[in-house]
């Protein structure tokens, strides 16, 4: 349940008020393939994550945070545009010409740049590799990171710098400390005006690698588990480095911070806290993720909310914080979370959440979820308040509820574009085979 505090307590918990004469900075931390309960603030114990935990302690932690896709690229489409990726048929991972984020879509960087923001991305892109699709051509003033996923040789594709492709750095595939330095340099360069910083880590996606100093911190763990723990802990340290930079420049109170994962955990060592499934499937383990928001001086600290939220909400919330009006013709699917975050509202003006991953689909309305997580699978009706592990199909007991949710999803999907390309891993069985092979995939 949502925990509420008296008005005076909320005001005190929020901390010092931000500067009134500037728009807030926006920082989005995105961790790749992080399990729902990997962080200490969600109950994780494998590796200490004090810096991510501090964001939850100083802000709001959502128990029912979601992303609109169970794999990387479609999820990032939703984050960047505030719109379901099914609106443009971007159901699967990109990586080939024609599979990019369409030029007709407007990114978060372009929206905030129009509101007077300096815009920077550091880290994984995964939304297109041609010059016209790279971050420097999609509204980002500054950009550096990997085009796609990494491997032990430094990356299956190269890195980008702005709108140009460059060679991978010598540090790759260990990138968290590199990204922290790049992000801090961006903040230093743009501290005089409001900025957007999107820091998209390669961690904890495979290869799960870390600096030797971090590997040595887990001597009692076996090799692969040690690698995962060290990768997660070093990523947390990078978050801490960025937050330290904001504090050193006295900007923390002027910064709205989001922390999410791009999809559910993929590693055998990811902590899913009893959720069913993982990356590649639309069970809760594939789409329910850590979701933390901090804005000192505006958002009361230390609250835990169970209102369902989704990464599509990041853009409209950032725009509201910036004082930028959202136009109806943009057709955003996300909603502004600020009234909920600030304690002014108890819920959101949203009827349902939707998912489409090729042949898989799901819809959640209230505590009820209808999900088909494999090819030709008969939809399963679950009540998440009573069965967050999605173990019991209630279709027979509540046939009208199942029909209601199916009709709701069908109506929503009628307004979407069919998938523009296919991926055999949409099928739940194929996905599970893939996870057994390498625990991961793109």
Helices 223-248 & 176-189 angle (0-180, nearest 10): 10
Among the residue ranges 25-29, 196-200, 430-434, the one predicted with the least confidence is 430-434
Residue 158 pLDDT grade (very low, low, confident, very high; cuts 50, 70, 90): confident
Phi, psi of 363 (to 5 degrees): -150, 140
User: What average pLDDT does range 61-84 have in this prediction?
Assistant: 98
At residue 434, the pLDDT reads 57
Which residues are catalytic, by number? Answer: 72, 126
The predicted pLDDT at position 114 comes to 98
Alpha-carbon distance of 359 to 377, in angstroms, equals 9
pLDDT band at 426; cut points 50, 70, 90: confident
Give the mean pLDDT of 154-177.
86
Q: How high is the pLDDT of residue 428?
A: 74
**Above 50 in pLDDT, residue 199?**
yes
- CA 96, distance to chain mean position in Å, is 23
As beta bridge partners, residue 380 has 371
pLDDT at residue number 18: 53
Identify the pLDDT of residue 425: 80
**pLDDT, mean of residues 322-351:** 97
Is the pLDDT confidence value at 242 over 60? yes
Give me the sign of the Cα torsion angle 86, 88, 91, 94.
negative
* Mean pLDDT for the chain overall: 92
- pTM here is 0.93
First to last CA, the chain: 35
pLDDT level of residue 94 (50, 70, 90 thresholds): confident
């Amino acid at each position: 349940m949502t925990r509420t505090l008296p008005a005076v307590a909320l005001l005190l918990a929020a901390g010092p008020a931000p500067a009134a004469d500037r728009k807030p900075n926006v920082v989005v931390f995105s961790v790749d393939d992080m399990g729902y309960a990997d962080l200490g603030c969600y109950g994780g114990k494998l590796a200490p994550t004090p810096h991510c935990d501090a964001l939850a302690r100083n802000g709001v932690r959502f128990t029912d945070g979601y992303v609109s896709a169970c794999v990387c690229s479609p999820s990032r489409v939703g984050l960047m545009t505030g719109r379901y990726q099914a609106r443009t048929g971007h159901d699967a991972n990109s990586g080939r010409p024609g599979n990019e984020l369409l030029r007709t879509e407007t990114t978060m960087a372009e929206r905030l740049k129009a509101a007077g923001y300096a815009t920077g991305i550091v880290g994984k892109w995964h939304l297109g590799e041609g010059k016209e699709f790279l971050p420097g051509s999609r509204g980002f003033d500054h950009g550096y990171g990997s085009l796609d996923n990494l491997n032990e040789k430094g990356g299956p594709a190269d890195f980008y710098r702005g709108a140009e492709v460059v060679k991978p750095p010598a540090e790759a595939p260990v990138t968290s400390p590199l990204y922290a330095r790049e992000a801090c340099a961006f903040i230093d360069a743009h501290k005089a005006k409001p900025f957007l910083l999107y820091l998209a880590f390669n961690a904890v996606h495979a290869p799960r690698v870390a600096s030797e100093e971090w590997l040595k911190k887990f001597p009692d763990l076996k090799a692969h588990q040690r690698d995962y723990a060290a990768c997660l802990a070093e990523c947390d340290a990078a978050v801490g480095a960025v937050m330290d930079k904001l504090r050193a420049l006295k900007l923390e109170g002027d910064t709205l911070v989001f922390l999410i994962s791009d999809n559910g955990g993929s590693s055998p060592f990811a902590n899913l806290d009893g959720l069913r499934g993982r990356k590649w499937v639309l069970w809760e383990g594939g789409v329910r993720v850590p979701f933390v928001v901090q804005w000192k001086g505006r958002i009361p600290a230390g609250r835990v909310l169970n209102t369902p939220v989704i990464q599509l909400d990041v853009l409209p919330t950032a725009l509201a914080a910036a004082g930028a009006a959202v136009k109806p013709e943009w057709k955003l699917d996300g909603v502004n979370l600020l009234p909920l975050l600030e304690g002014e509202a108890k819920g959101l003006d949203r009827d349902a959440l939707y998912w489409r991953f090729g042949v898989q689909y799901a819809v959640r309305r209230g505590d009820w979820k209808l999900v088909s997580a494999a090819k030709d699978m008969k939809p399963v009706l679950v009540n998440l308040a009573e069965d967050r592990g999605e173990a019991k199909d209630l279709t027979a007991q509540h046939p009208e509820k199942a029909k209601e949710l199916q009709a709701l999803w069908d109506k929503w999907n009628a307004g979407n574009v069919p998938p523009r390309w296919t991926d055999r891993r949409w099928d739940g069985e194929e996905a599970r085979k893939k996870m057994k092979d390498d625990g991961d995939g793109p």
